[in-house]
Structure 1
Amino acid sequence: MKLAELAKELKIPTESFIKFIQDFDLELSECISTNFEVKDDFAKFARENIVFLRKYSEDLNQNKSIEDIAENIDQPKDKVAEIIKKDKPKLFDNGKYKSSVSSFGIDNKLGGNYKFVYNYFGKNTHLAERDFIGYRDLFFFVSQTLEPYLSNISVQDWGIHRPAGIVLYGPPGSGKIFWAKKIAEIIDYEFKEIKKYFLGISFVDDQKITFNDFLIQIMKSEKTLLFLEDFDEIMSERSEDESVKSDDEETKEIILHYISHFEKENILMVGAANSLEKIDRELLAPGRFDVLIPVFPPNMKERSEMLFHHMTEDLSPDALLIKILEDNKAHQLPFWLEISKKMQAFSNTMLIDFTQSLKKRIRNLYLKNNSTTIKITQKMLDASLRDASSKLTGTYLDQIQQFIYDVSLNNYEDFTVRIEALKVEVEHYKIVDEPTKPIGFTHNDEIKQKK
C-alpha cells in the first residue's frame, strides 16, 4: 500500500503523515520504502492511533501564535519561542504562524511523553545500512513532487499530471547524480544517462545514429529516466555576449520538440545544473522542465553522519580500522561533530576526500608500528581537513553563492532553514578587507598574484 492510499483510507492528509515522521524524527526505513510503500508496522501504528493522528493533523493546519501553542501543550512561552525560531516558519501579520507548525512536534522536542510512538519505532537503523543519510526534507520534497508517479490520486482527484522534465540544481559535488538515481528508484524507472557523444552523431554497429534517432528509440522502451549532466551549459540561452554551440542548440530544439510526448511515453528527463542562471527560459516553461529541485551541500549534522558512514562503509565486522575507530570512540557520532563544524559549505565529494585522507594516515601508522593502538589526533584530523579543502576554491564558493541566490528565488519557502544556515556558513569565507569584490571570495589566480 502506498502512503497516499493509507492517507485516503484514514482521511488524514499525506502531508500530515510526512510532517509527523519529521517531527518525531522517525527512521524512514521503518515507516516507508523509497517508493512510498508503507511498512507494516507504520500502517498498524496509524490504524491503532488514528485518533491521535487526526488531532495531530487538525493542529497542524491551524494558524496559531506562540501563546496558543504554549497554552495547548502546557509549556513555557520562551521555550516554545526558541524552538519555533530555529524552524523559521512563516508568520501572518497578526502574529499567528501559518499551518505546518505542529504543537505536538514542539512538545516532543521539549520532552513531552510520546512513548507510544517510540514503542513502534524506537530502533535506529545503522548509518551503514541506510539508503541515504540526512536530507529528509529534500527526500519528502522530491517524493511529493513525484506523487503523480506513485499513485493515480493526484490525477483523478486534482488533475495534476506527471512532470515531463526536472532540473536538479546545486554546486558541484553536492550529489545531483545520486538524487537522479534516487528519483528513478522512487518511481521504478530505468536510469539511463545521456552520454555527451549521444548529443551529436555517433556510430553503433557501423550505423550513424543522431540524438533524434536516440530519443525516438528510447521512447519505444518502458519507463525510462534520462539523465543529462551539464544541463545549464547545454541548454544555455543564446545572447549577444555568449554564443551557443550548434550541437547544443540542436539538442535543445530536439528536446523541446519531443518533451510534450514524454509523459505519454513514460519518459522522464532529469537535467543536472550547477546554476539556473544561464538556462534558456523557454526550457523552464510549464509542461517542460518546470520542476526545480535544489541539491544542497550537507549541513553540520549530516556532515558528521556522512564522515562516520564513509569511514566505515564496506568494512568487514572484524576490520582493523573498526577496532581503531572503537578505541578512539570514533565509532560514535559525537567524535565527528567538532571536525564537521570546521567544514562549512563542504560538498559531499570533499567529505569523501577527507575520509580517504584520514584512512591513509591511520593505515600508514599501522604499517609503521604494526599495532592497532593508534590515537586519532587533532593533528591528523586537521591535516586531512587541509587535503579535503583543496577543492574549496574561490570558484566553488562563487558557485555556492549563486546557488543561494537561485534557491532563494525559486524554493525559499520549501527550504528556509537550510538556506539561512548555508548563508551563515558561507559568511565564514567572506573577505572583510576587500569589499570591492563583486561577491567577496578570493580565487586561485588572485592568490597567486598576491604571492
Structure 2
Amino acid sequence: MKLADLAKELQISTESFIKFIQDFDLELSECITTNFEVKDDFVKFARENIIFLRKYALDLNQNKTIEDIAESIDQPTDKIAEIIKKEKPKLFDNGKYKSSVSSFGIDNQLGGNYQFIYNYFGKSTPLQDRDFIGYRDLFFFISNALEPFLNHVSVKDWGIHRPSGIILYGPPGSGKIFWANKIAEIINYDFKEIKRHFLGTTFINNEKTTFNDYLIKLMKDEKVLLFLEDFEELMGTNSDDHSFNGCDEETKEIILHNISHFEEDKILMVGSANSVQPIDKEILAPGRFDVLIPVFPPNLKERSEMLLYHMKDNLSEDALLLRILEENEAHQIPFWNAISKKMQVFSNTMLIDFTQSLKKRIRNIYLQNHSSDIKITQKMLDGALKDASSKLTDNYLNQIQDFIFDVSVNNYDDFPQRIEALKKELLHYKVVDLPNNPIGFSHNEDI
C-alpha cells in the first residue's frame, strides 16, 4: 500500500504523516520504503490509532502561539519557547506559528508519554539493511520535489509540470551521486551518468559523434535520469573568476536547446555542483534546472551511525573484526558518539577514510600478537582521526562556507536546523586568536 492510499483511506494528509514520522523520530525504514510503500507495522499503527492521528493532523494545521501550545499540552512556556527557538519554524506577523509546528511533537520532546506509538516499532532495522542512514528531512524534501512523478499529478488537471532538471549541490564528498541514484530509484528511472569525455566530439566505433548526437540518442529511451557532474563548471558564466572553454559553452547550449523536450520524452537531468553561485542564471530559469536540492555533510547523529555502518559493512557473521568490536562495545552507536563530536563538518568520504584507517590499525595489532583481545584505545581513534583529517583543507572549509551561503539563500526555510548546526560546527575552525592575520580557517591540529 502506498502512503497516499493510506492517507486517502484514513482521511489524513500525506504531509501530516510525514511530519508525524519526523516529530516522533521514527526510523524511516520502519515506516515506509523509498518509493512510499507503507510497512505493515505502520499501517497497523495508523488504523488502530486513527483518532490520535486526526487530532495530530488538526493541531498541525492550526496556527498557534507559544501560549496556545502551553495550554494545549500543559507544559511551561519557557520550555516550549526553547524548543521552538531550536526548530526555527515560520512565524506570522501576528506572533502565531505557521502550521509546521506540532504541539504533540513539542510535548514529546518535553517528556510526554507517547510510548503507545513506539510499542508498534520495537524492532529497529539494522544499519546494514537500511536504504540510507539519517537524512530523513532530505528524503522527504526530495520526495516532495518529485511528487509529480510519484502521484502522477496531471498537467492537464493541475498545470503542474514534472521537473526537467534538478541540481544537487553541496561540498565534495557529501553524497551527491548517492542521492542522484536514490532519485532514480524513487521515480523508477534508469540511472545513466554522462561522462566528461562524451561532451564535445568523440569517436565511438570509429564514427564521429557529437554530444548533441549522444544526447538525442539517450532521449530515445524513456524514463532515464541523466547525471552530470561538475555542473557549475559546465553551466557557468564567463567572468574574471571563471573562464569558459568552447566545449563547455557548446554543452550548455545543447542542453538548453533540448531541455524543453525532457518532460515529454520522460527524461530527467540531474546536475551535481559544489556551489550554485557560478551557475548561469539562464540555466536556473523556470522549466529548466529550477529544482535545487542541498546535500549536507552528515550531522553529529548521522556521523555516529555511519561510522558504525562502515566499520561493520561487508563483514561476515563470524568476522574477527566484528568480535573485536563487540568486545569493545563498539558494535553499538554510543561508542562512536565521542569521536563523532570531533568530526565537525566531516564529509561522508572522510568518515570512510577514518574507518579504513582504524581497521588497519586494529589489524596491525592483531598481526603482532595474533590475539583478538584488542582494546580500541583513544590513541588509535585519534590516529585514525588525524589520517581522515588530511582532506580537511582550507579549500574544503571554504567550500563549506560557500555551501552555507548557497543553502541559506535557496533553502533556509526547508533546513533551518541543519544550517544553524553546520554554521556552529564551521566556527570550530575559525581563526580567533590571530587578529592581525587575514580572516580564514585554521586546521585544528588537536583533532
User: What band does the TM-score fall into relative to the shorter chain?
Assistant: over 0.9
The CA deviation string for residues 3-53 of structure 1, in whole angstroms up to 9 with x for no partner, is 233323433222111001111122212221111122233233323322222
Amino acid at match of 2:99: S
The amino acid that maps onto 1:441 is F
| 1:343-397, Cα deviation, whole Å (9 max, x unpaired) | 0000000000000000000000011010011111111111111000000000000
Match of 1:207 in 2: 207
Alpha-carbon spacing, 1:129–1:241, altered in 2? closer, same or farther (3 Å): closer
Report the 3-state secondary structure (helix = DSSP H, G, I; strand = E; otherwise coil) of the residue aligned with 1:281. Answer: coil
Say which is worse superposed, 268-277 or 30-39, in terms of deviation.
30-39
1:342 counterpart residue number: 342
Q: Which residue of 2 aligns with 1:361?
A: 361
Deviation at 1:318, TM superposition (A): 1.0
Three-state SS of the structure 1 residue aligned to 2:271 is strand
Task: Give the conservation status (yes or no) of the 8 Å contact 2:174–2:297.
Answer: yes
In the alignment, is the contact (CA less than 8 A) between 1:2 and 1:150 conserved in 2? Answer: no
Q: Partner of 1:129 in structure 2? A: 129
SS in 1 for 2:343: coil
Which residue is 1:33 aligned to? 33
Query: Distance in 2 between the 1:242 and 1:57 partners?
Result: 49
Partner of 2:255: 255
Q: CA deviation at 1:219?
A: 1.0
Q: Which runs of structure 2 are paired with 1:182-201 in the superposition (5 Å)?
A: 182-201=182-201
Q: For residue 150 of structure 1, report the CA deviation from its aligned partner.
A: 0.5
Counterparts of residues 46-57 of structure 1 (less than 5 Å): 46-57=46-57
Q: Which residue of 2 aligns with 1:82?
A: 82
Residue in 1 that maps onto 2:10: 10
- TM-score where L is the length of structure 2: 0.95
Calculate the aligned-residue CA RMSD, in Å.
Answer: 1.9
Q: Is the 8 A contact 1:398 1:439 kept in 2?
A: no
Conserved 8 A contact 2:430-2:440: yes
Instruction: Look up the match of 2:326.
Output: 326
- Give the AA of the match of 1:2: K
For residues 220 and 94 of structure 1, do their structure 2 counterparts lie closer, same or farther at Cα, with a shift above 3 Å needed? same
Instruction: Give the corresponding residue for 1:231.
Output: 231
Partner in structure 2 of residue 94 of structure 1: 94
**2:107 aligned residue:** 107
Q: Match for residue 371 of structure 1?
A: 371
2:308–2:333 CA contact under 8 A, matched in 1: yes
Alignment of 1:261-410 (within 5 A): 261-410=261-410
Distance 2:315 2:241 in 1: 52
Query: Secondary structure in 1 aligned to 2:131?
Result: coil
Q: Distance in 1 between matches of 2:234 and 2:437?
A: 29
CA distance in 2, matches of 1:330, 1:179: 28
Residue 91 of structure 1 deviates from its aligned partner by 2.6
Q: Is the 8 A contact 2:168 2:292 kept in 1?
A: yes
SS in 2 for 1:271: strand
User: Quick check: 2:431–2:439 contact (8 Å CA) kept in 1?
Assistant: no
User: Per the alignment, in what secondary structure is the counterpart of residue 209 of structure 1?
Assistant: strand
Sort the Cα spacing of 1:287 and 1:437 in 2 relative to 1 into closer, same or farther, 3 A. Answer: farther
Counterpart-to-counterpart distance in 1, 2:18 and 2:384: 38
Amino acid at match of 1:251: T
- State the SS of the aligned residue for 2:335: helix
Amino acid at match of 2:383: A
Whole-Å Cα distance in 2 between the matches of residues 155 and 85 of structure 1?
39
What is the Cα deviation at residue 63 of structure 1? 1.4
Q: Give, in angstroms, the shift of residue 436 of structure 1.
A: 6.8
Amino acid at match of 2:318: D
Q: What is the total number of aligned residue pairs between the two structures?
A: 445
- The two structures have a TM-score, normalised by structure 1, of 0.95
Secondary structure, aligned partner of 1:282: coil
* Compared CA separation, residues 439 and 140, structure 1 to 2 (3 A): farther
Match of 2:429 in 1: 429
The residue number in structure 1 matching 2:144 is 144
Letter in 2 for 1:31: C
Aligned counterparts of 1:120 and 1:153: Cα–Cα separation in 2: 33
Question: How is 1:146-185 mapped onto 2 (pairs within 5 angstroms)?
Answer: 146-153=146-153, 155=155, 158-185=158-185
Please tell me whether the aligned partners of residues 4 and 153 of structure 1 are also in contact (alpha carbons under 8 angstroms): no
Given that residues 169 and 276 in structure 1 are in contact (C-alpha distance below 8 angstroms), is that contact kept between their aligned partners in structure 2? yes
SS at structure 2 position matched to 1:268: strand
1: distance between equivalents of 2:419 and 2:306?
A: 20
Identity rate of aligned residues, in percent?
A: 75
Q: How far apart, CA to CA, are the structure 1 residues paired with 2:86 and 2:124?
A: 25
Counterparts in 2 of 1:151 and 1:439: CA distance versus 1, 3 Å = farther
Partner AA of 1:392 in structure 2: L
Please give the alpha-carbon distance, in whole angstroms, between the structure 2 residues aligned to 1:287 and 1:344: 37
Unaligned runs of 5+ in 1: none
Structure 1: how far apart are the matches of 2:50 and 2:359?
A: 49
